[in-house]
A = this chain, B = another copy of it.
Amino acid sequence: MRKILTFIAFAFSCTLAIAQPNRLITTGTIESLESKILNETRRVWVYVPGSALNDISGPKSYPVLYLLDGDAHFLSMVGMIQQFSRNTLCPEMIVVGIANTDRTRDLTTSNISGPIRMMGNAVAPTSGGSDKFLAFIEKELMPFIESKYPTQPYKVFVGHSFGGLTVINALINHPHMFSAYLSIDPGMWWDNEKLLSQAQSVLRNKKFEGKSLYMSIANTLLPGMDSAQAMADTTMQSQFFRSIMKLDGAFKANKANGLRYGSKFYAADDHNSIPIISIHDGLRSIFSFYQFNLTAAEIAGFNAETLKRIDAHYESVSKLMGYPVKFPEMMANALAYRFMGEGRMAESEMLFALNIKNYPNSFNVYDSMGEFHEAQGNKQKAIELYKKALSIREFPVTRERMERLLNEK
């Protein structure tokens, strides 16, 4: 099928346009689940990539990104992932944004009973529930998501501020839960830097092979104070910054533990403005191995060597992701039709064949190869391929084509 996405967009838009002249733009659903661990109802904002609805191409499943303060960051995260995944800068992903009930309870890592100076002497009697909250995510939320949506085992965990603290807690104390971590200006000052001290020791002694973390650091320095002064300072005002920088130092001093680590200080961003650029840079850093482009020269000189480079890239990506990742079906499909249009039949066939190898359960790969053979005059092969495609799903255009060829014989 040549223009599969156009077809789907058109069909989809027709269906909805009839139902409602001014269509709503929807990005996901809000789901509720009962948590026994937390003894309350929790709401999650769930986004599933649009390609999941498309049964013309092969069945798909996706890594899952769990996002703290989920309602606040949901839309910008989804928008970012849509843009990035379109350009192979990251995989398409399911996003699960966890909305808060008692935020301080769930996202802080130990209980502070008295007034908290850093918070203007506010008290937080319920604080210290991070481990329990992570148990909810692991034992209740993840199974819920995995039973309802097409997931892959690769999981990303993203949080800001106290959320960033819980992300670090997950890495240090529950490292089996996630593959990649984005900790945005984390509240490492919490409880006299208790988690920080623990992290400094764990990072020396545990292995983190196959995991990656990006940490962003906001400019929370007082006016006129620079980074060096803040590190030498001992006042509460600079502790927020200092505690994160100490953690940054611990990550950098323990590279032998195998963690793939990136971090950056954002001089132009404060604690509140930093999330969006952190999401941008964090996804780019975590998935720096993911991007794949064919150069103009490779397209011009496409041959078996190019196929090998494609295979080698996706083999290494699969290793890092922990499940088989293939050259995107629609990229191969589009390029194959382009070659066909240019009369480069050998190159075209290579790519159609690659798609059949990579996506054996896709209607589209057989339909496309059928069109290729029909264009070549190989009626019998075309009929067989259309038949194979139609055994996966019914499609009127393909059935007509097949019947026309059968009648011509």
Residue positions of A touching B, CB distance < 8 A: 21-32, 45, 47, 73-80, 82-84, 86-87, 89, 222-223, 237, 268, 270, 272-273, 275-277, 280, 284, 293, 295-296
Q: Please report the C-alpha to C-alpha distance between residue A26 and residue B76 in the assembled complex, in whole angstroms.
A: 14
- The closest CB in chain B to the CB of A222 belongs to B296
Contact B78 A276 (CB under 8 A): no
- The closest CB in chain B to the CB of A288 belongs to B268
Most buried by B among A79, A84, A280: A79
Which of B30, B78, B84, B275 is the one whose CB lies under 8 Å from A23?
B30
Residues on B with beta carbons closer than 8 Å to the beta carbon of A31: 22
Contact B29 A28 (CB under 8 A): no
Contact B27 A276 (CB under 8 A): no
Contact A32 B25 (CB under 8 A): no
Contact A22 B27 (CB under 8 A): no
Contact B22 A30 (CB under 8 A): yes
- The closest CB in chain B to the CB of A295 belongs to B223
Q: Please report the C-alpha to C-alpha distance between residue A87 and residue B275 in the assembled complex, in whole angstroms.
A: 11
On whether A76 and B76 interact (CB within 8 A), knowing A25-B30, A293-B270, the answer reads yes
Ordered by A's residue number, 29 sampled pairs between the chains whose C-beta atoms are within 8 Å are A22-B29, A22-B32, A23-B29, A23-B30, A24-B24, A24-B28, A24-B30, A25-B28, A25-B30, A25-B45, A26-B27, A73-B83, A75-B75, A75-B79, A76-B79, A76-B80, A76-B82, A77-B79, A79-B79, A79-B80, A79-B276, A80-B276, A87-B270, A87-B272, A87-B273, A222-B296, A223-B295, A268-B284, A277-B280
- The closest CB in chain B to the CB of A272 belongs to B87
- The closest CB in chain B to the CB of A28 belongs to B25
Residues on B with beta carbons closer than 8 Å to the beta carbon of A293: 270
Q: Please report the C-alpha to C-alpha distance between residue A83 and residue B22 in the assembled complex, in whole angstroms.
A: 26
Contact B23 A25 (CB under 8 A): no
Residues on B with beta carbons closer than 8 Å to the beta carbon of A270: 87, 293
- The closest CB in chain B to the CB of A276 belongs to B83
Contact A24 B26 (CB under 8 A): yes
Residues on B with beta carbons closer than 8 Å to the beta carbon of A73: 83
Residues on B with beta carbons closer than 8 Å to the beta carbon of A23: 29-30
Instruction: Report the minimal beta-carbon distance from A297 to chain B, rounded to whole angstroms.
Output: 8
Residues on B with beta carbons closer than 8 Å to the beta carbon of A82: 75-76
Q: Please report the C-alpha to C-alpha distance between residue A380 and residue B165 in the assembled complex, in whole angstroms.
A: 49
Q: Please report the C-alpha to C-alpha distance between residue A29 and residue B22 in the assembled complex, in whole angstroms.
A: 6
Residues on B with beta carbons closer than 8 Å to the beta carbon of A222: 296
Residues on B with beta carbons closer than 8 Å to the beta carbon of A78: 75, 79
